[in-house]
Amino acid sequence: MKEFSTPVRVYIEDTDAGGIVYYVNYLKFMERARTEFMRSLGYGKDYIFNHDLMFVVRDVNVSYERPARLDDELMATAGVSRVRGAGIVFEQRILRAQELLAAGTITVACVDRAGQKVRRLPAVMVNDLQDFQA
């Protein structure tokens, strides 16, 4: 699977009192990677808004392997494992150098912005995502 990656720095706001990244913040790091990945394919905010789209997280499964700490330089990745109808399944990782800290499978659904009802992904987006998946 092809994988997109983006750097993430751990700031004090990301950590607990012991300087360890709070578990929910790994999801924020993964969100950033998905957003930057989609932007790299040409599906940034302007495209999404102009096509009456919105993506909502439908399902999350994360395994936490090692802690990240204050001031760590991390890499957040996003790869596409499945595209279908109105959904995208992302395989994501958070790494420090080559060390796996967290891995997750995140499923997002495409909805229309106005009524927030499920809608099919645009055909061009499906093609681009399937190309990346290969």
Q: Which residues are catalytic?
A: 16
Chain-centroid distance of CA 40 in Å reads 13
What is the torsional sign of CA 20, 25, 26, 30? negative
* Rounded Cα gap, residues 68 and 116, in angstroms: 35
CB 96 within 8 A of CB 42: no
CB 71 within 8 A of CB 15: no
What is the torsional sign of CA 52, 56, 58, 62? positive
